[in-house]
A and B are shown apart, each in its own frame.
Chain A
């Protein structure tokens, strides 16, 4: 998955560190709504549940694609592309 993403591709970064369920998913959705097709949103979270939740949301929601998820040192970073 990571090979697909180049850091220069990130259009916008959303910081949801400290926020818990359901806010990381909701704020991700709201941020994606403000982007254009093809844009990539980087979501930085500290909620460990966001690994499963952002994935589940991206797989269920039309118009978004999960490009990558990186876990490290209590911080969970997600890359979501707006596809339509």
Chain B
């Protein structure tokens, strides 16, 4: 027992006064950590936002464009990756003719059976367009142009461009084509905000 006690007290003395080599090692480790912390703190570039836009109806075209242009106004770096029907938002001709679906939307003031009749989608779209104009809400085209002017990076997924038989020239000037999922993911992995619309 007495031997144990003396060993314990020896150990505590060793801890109290570590040898010079250990101190030097710890000091150099602290310096290393401080340097990497400083590097992390120095890397406070603008926030990044990544949006994946997959829908091409009039109502679903607005959220990605409003968020992208506003984030650009915050000084954020913004990338919007458009795939499947989301491509229509960047398609110069089709973007001016986006439609609203009257079917499958329980907020529409008509039953699905009636909404499914021919001409109902156009009617719903016409009504929505009138509301947008009356409310002085920005048009899709205006939001795209504003976003491009503010440095938003719009990307059109190459696989779906081919799938939909679109041509690279069909898109607004400034839209990036020839990109795929890996390009989107590379940016997303680094982004502070990632949204799927």
Task: Report the minimal beta-carbon distance from B121 to chain A, rounded to whole angstroms.
Answer: 25
Number of A residues, CB within 8 Å of B: 15
Contact with A along B151-177 (1 / 0, CB 8 A): 000000000000000000000000000
Q: Which of A19, A26, A60, A62 has a CB less than 8 Å from the CB of B69?
A: A26
B35 sits at the interface (CB 8 A): no
Task: Report the minimal beta-carbon distance from A28 to chain B, rounded to whole angstroms.
Answer: 8
Cβ A20 vs Cβ B75 within 8 A: no
8 A Cβ contacts from B112-155 to A: 135-138, 143, 146, 150
Number of B residues, CB within 8 Å of A: 14
B66 sits at the interface (CB 8 A): yes
Task: Report the minimal beta-carbon distance from B114 to chain A, rounded to whole angstroms.
Answer: 31
Task: Report the minimal beta-carbon distance from B28 to chain A, rounded to whole angstroms.
Answer: 36
Task: Report the minimal beta-carbon distance from A47 to chain B, rounded to whole angstroms.
Answer: 9
Cβ A22 vs Cβ B75 within 8 A: no
Cβ B136 vs Cβ A26 within 8 A: no
Give Cα A22 to B73, complex, Å: 10
A70 sits at the interface (CB 8 A): no
Cβ A26 vs Cβ B73 within 8 A: yes
Give Cα A25 to B147, complex, Å: 13
Cβ B73 vs Cβ A29 within 8 A: yes
> Which residue of chain B has the shortest Cβ distance to A21 in the bound complex?
B66
> Which residue of chain B has the shortest Cβ distance to A26 in the bound complex?
B73
Give Cα A60 to B74, complex, Å: 7
Q: Which residues of A contact B73 (CB under 8 A)?
A: 22, 25-26, 28-30, 57, 61
Cβ B70 vs Cβ A25 within 8 A: yes
Cβ B70 vs Cβ A22 within 8 A: yes
Give Cα A20 to B75, complex, Å: 20
Cβ A62 vs Cβ B70 within 8 A: no
Give Cα A23 to B69, complex, Å: 9
Task: Report the minimal beta-carbon distance from B133 to chain A, rounded to whole angstroms.
Answer: 12
Cβ A20 vs Cβ B137 within 8 A: yes
Contacts A21-B66, A26-B69 given; indicate if A57 touches B74 (C-beta within 8 A): yes
Contacts A57-B74, A61-B75 given; indicate if A22 touches B69 (C-beta within 8 A): yes
7 smallest CB-CB distances across A and B, nearest first, come from A29-B73, A22-B70, A22-B66, A26-B73, A18-B136, A20-B137, A61-B74
24 contacts between A and B (CB under 8 A): A19-B138, A20-B135, A20-B138, A22-B66, A22-B69, A22-B70, A22-B138, A22-B143, A23-B138, A23-B146, A26-B69, A26-B73, A26-B146, A29-B74, A29-B150, A30-B73, A30-B150, A57-B70, A57-B73, A57-B74, A60-B74, A61-B73, A61-B74, A62-B75
